[in-house]
Chains A and B, each alone.
Chain A
Amino acid sequence: MPTFEVEGKKYDVDEDGFLQEPDLWTEDVAKDFAKSESIDALTDGHWKVINYIRNYYLQFGIAPMVRKVCKETGYKLSEIYQLFPSGPAKGACKLAGLPKPTGCV
């Protein structure tokens, strides 16, 4: 199983760098994973999105649909991509410690 290492900490991740145990998520995970998603430092804006996604996941067991993320955080989709350059699915969900979004693409 691949691991992701940062500052001496090791995380079990899948090939795409998603946390293998969603339950092990802490705020440190988001901070540690940020660089790998081309984010220099997490701002209040990042946290607003991460916390919304994380809380939604804990409440409903699923990732929120993108339009809901936009509606509830007040960010336009383009702004979400500015915050998370690889997008809400790959970037924001990874930092929020959700399972990797799947589906027949």
Chain B
Amino acid sequence: MADADEGVKPANGKPETKLLDELEKGPWPSFVTEIKSAQGVTGGAEDLLGQLELSYEDKVSHWKHGGLVGVLGYGGGVIGRYSDVGEQFPKVAHFHTLRVNQPAGWFYTSEALRTISDIWERHGSGLTNMHGSTGDMILLGTTTDHLEATFQELTHAGFDLGGSGSAVRTPSCCVGMARCEWACFDAMKLCYDLTMAYQDELHRPALPYKFKIKCSACPNDCVAAIARADLSVIGTWKDDIRIDQAEVANYATAGVDIQKDICANCPTRCMDWNGKELNIKNRDCVRCMHCINAMPKALRPGVEKGAVILIGAKAPILQGALLSSVLIPFVAADELLDTLKELIQRIWDFWDEYGTNRERIGELIQRVGLAAFLDGIGLDPAPEMVSAPRDNPYIYYQPAKEDEA
């Protein structure tokens, strides 16, 4: 700490970064090298290095709390950031971030990447995240007076801002049908269609809290929908696993121990191998993907495809972390968009009515009970929604409805 002041004093216009320089060594590509390579774009990168070096010495963040900036007509999409050492590092005194919707599946052309890079060279620090945790492209660091111009150049190039605050967050999805044989629905199209359907809710926060939608096209769940999406759409299939017995035999010949590696790892023990044929009792299969993952040339999901709709995942804040739980056990692929739109509206109506400020939908369901939530959105209870029926007799019996029957 004694030499903290000396250590970060700009020399020849560039800060000394003894600690960060350590992170340029080693085989993994270095974020410090990235920040250094953006020096000269606006000066933001230089001062970011200086401030970060100070954090590495002080062991605390030097960003101030919050910040509320944006573009006209939108209530989110820009994360305001101010430095608490702005006098020392004036070029990051104001250092706001734009969240920009990623293309579905994070596909780009070289031209699109260059367009974004050029815009961000004109208006920002030249630093990005590819991508942020939610999936957005992150343009890291600019000043308030550049926000509108950046925004307009982005929209003219066919990009738009992502969500922040109590709004729909940018939906995200796996690569799906673009490059995966396991895709059980068109995750990229669904993700795009939902994003377009909720432009207003994405750009103009009006919900009790954030609402994340993620689409994974098979139960491998490559976008972690079940762990972090308020509404998780996870692909599955209803009919039998497709088997190519000759390819199963080829895997066996190539050294896969079918009985031990495949059958014994099946969670419902629904398959057996007689040395020639793999027999699957599909009635017992829970579509976990293990056997398909292990032998992709021999096994494939069935052809009656669709998705499970789950609800309520979130990180610990406030009442503890939750995984999403089953809401609709199966929706056919071609009915997904319409079903989801109707369902989401009913969920939001209920959340609007009963949710408190900053209460995620999963926490609301915990508070009022899944059964009450189902009543509220007009869904019938189904045994697929629980791991087991209740084991306590504290049942809120409803009074008999005398007018009925």
Chain B contact-residue range equals 20 to 34
From B60-68, B186-194, B259-267, give the one contacting chain A: B60-68
Inter-subunit contact B206/A101 (CB<8 Å): no
**Hey, which chain B residues are within 8 Å of A103, CB to CB?**
66, 165-166, 358
A70's nearest neighbour on chain B, judged by CB, is: B206
**Given the contacts A15-B94, A66-B205, A87-B204, A102 and B66 also touching, CB distance less than 8 Å:** yes
Q: Is A97 an interface residue (CB 8 A)?
A: no
* CB of A77 closer than 8 Å to a CB of B: yes
Residues of B within 8 A of A38 (CB): 72
Q: CA separation between A78 and B76, bound complex, in Å?
A: 14
* Known A16-B80, A103-B165, A103-B358; contact A86-B200, beta-carbon cutoff 8 A: no
Interface size grouping (class) on chain A:
20 to 34
A18 to B79 CA separation, bound complex (whole angstroms): 16
| B-chain residues with CB within 8 Å of residue A85 when the two chains form the complex | 72-73
Contact A67 B206 (CB under 8 A): yes
Across the interface, B75 reaches (CB within 8 A) one of A65, A70, A90, A102, namely A90
- Nearest A residue to B66 via CB reads A102
Q: How far is the CB of A98 from chain B (nearest CB, A)?
A: 11
Kindly identify, within residues 64 to 96 of chain B, every residue whose CB is under 8 Å from any CB belonging to chain A.
64-70, 72-76, 79-80, 82, 94
Mostly, the B contact residues are: loop
The listed residue (A66, A70, A86, A102) touching B70 by CB distance below 8 A is A86
How far apart are B220's CB and chain A's nearest CB, in angstroms? 29
The reply to whether A65 and B68 contact each other, CB–CB distance below 8 Å, is no
The answer on a CB contact under 8 Å between B76 and A105 is yes
CB within 8 Å of B: which of A89-105? Answer: 89-90, 100-105
Name the A residues within 8 Å of B69 (CB-CB). 16, 90
State how many angstroms separate the Cβ of B357 from the closest Cβ of chain A. Answer: 6
Taking a contact as CB atoms under 8 Å apart, the answer to whether A90 and B70 are in contact is: yes
List B residues 195-222 near A (Cβ within 8 Å).
Answer: 200, 204-206, 208
Residue in chain B with minimal CB distance to A69: B206
| Chain A CB within 8 A of B172 CB | no
- A37→B208 CA distance, assembly (Å): 25
Contact B206 A66, beta carbon cutoff 8 Å: yes
Contacts A77-B204, A102-B65 given; indicate if A89 touches B352 (C-beta within 8 A). no
B128 interfacial contact with A, CB 8 Å: no
A15 touches B82 (CB 8 A): yes
B165/A105 in contact, CB under 8 A: yes
CA distance A62 to B357 in the complex (A): 10
Chain B CB within 8 A of A56 CB: no
B68 touches A89 (CB 8 A): yes
User: Would you list 5 pairs from A and B whose C-beta atoms are within 8 A, ordered by A residue?
Assistant: A65-B208, A65-B357, A66-B206, A70-B206, A103-B66
